[in-house]
Structure 1
Amino acid sequence: MKFARTLIVGGVLLALAAPVAIADTAAALKALDPDNDGTIDLAEAQAGAKKKFAALNPDNDGTLDAKELTGILDEAAIKAADPDNDGTLDEKEYDAVVAAKFKAANPDDDGTIDEKELSSPAGQELLKLIY
């Protein structure tokens, strides 16, 4: 659910929208696109996910718990992605979430995600997992 908040600072009205999107989608795309074709495919998304998983897992236990996934996935999403019901996601489970989010962010089903698709709400959900 999206909502807007307002804040008055020094007489200036600011609108703060939530959830916060990745600020520079173009920079994220560039970082995730080693072949520089202007899109990311599933393999590139999975490579980004592997790096993100490692960054989210400072205890190096091979799993991500709800605390480590704060701001990335909510409790319901973690539970849905956790078929062994151990309360954590291992790399295989995390990768399955990435594949599902990739599919959702690729409405034209061409196997690649361009900047416009990455800027969409589904693309922003994918970016949280891979960048």
Structure 2
Amino acid sequence: MAVDAALMKVLDPDADGTVDLKEAQAAGAATFKKLNPDDDGTLDAKELSGRLDEAGLKAADPDNDGTLDEKEYSALIEKLFNEANPDNDGTLDEKELKSPAGQKLLLLIS
């Protein structure tokens, strides 16, 4: 997934050129709502199709119910954010967003 100016405008509302965890979580919450048309409070494999594979869903689903609730989805966003932030500065720049973990994160927050 490309990190274009339009996407950064959405993910980076303070326009500092980076995405912090708070911004990623806010974008993720909006994406969760968008992906949950039945409004049941969980995302199943069908709703996550193209964004998270079966192995990723299983790994992010500690209660093994086959779905992610908002808390589990948020925890996954935090995990991927931290993986994409090897310098541990609390923000992701464009290079970090283009990393494999950053790309996985972008699928869940945009």
2:12 alignment counterpart: 33
Does residue 94 of structure 1 match 2:73? yes
Matching of residues 1-20 of structure 1 within 5 Å? none
1:54 lines up with 2:33 in the alignment: yes
Q: Return the TM-score normalized by structure 1.
A: 0.80
Higher strand share: 1
Q: Distance in 1 between the 2:25 and 2:35 partners?
A: 15
Q: Is the 8 A contact 1:103 1:109 kept in 2?
A: yes
- Give 1:25 shift: 3.5
SS in 1 for 2:106: helix
How much is the aligned-residue C-alpha RMSD, in angstroms?
1.1
User: Could you tell me whether the CA contact under 8 Å between 1:25 and 1:118 is conserved in 2?
Assistant: no
In our comparison, the structure showing a higher alpha carbon Rg is: 1
Instruction: Please tell me the residue identity of whatever aligns with 2:60.
Output: A
Alignment-mate amino acid for residue 11 of structure 2: L
RCO higher in 1 or 2 (8 Å CA, sep ≥ 6)? Answer: 2
Retained in 1: the 8 A contact 2:51–2:108? yes
**Identity percentage over the alignment?**
68
SS of 2:51's equivalent in the other structure is: coil
SS in 1 for 2:14: coil
Number of the residue aligned with 2:88: 109
Give the helix-richer structure, 1 or 2: 2
- What is the aligned partner in structure 2 of residue 82 from structure 1? 61
Distance 1:88 1:27 in 2: 30
Paired residues in the alignment total: 110
Gaps (5+ residues) in structure 1?
Answer: 1-21
- After superposing on structure 2, the runs of 4+ consecutive aligned residues of structure 1 that deviate more than 3 Å are 23-26
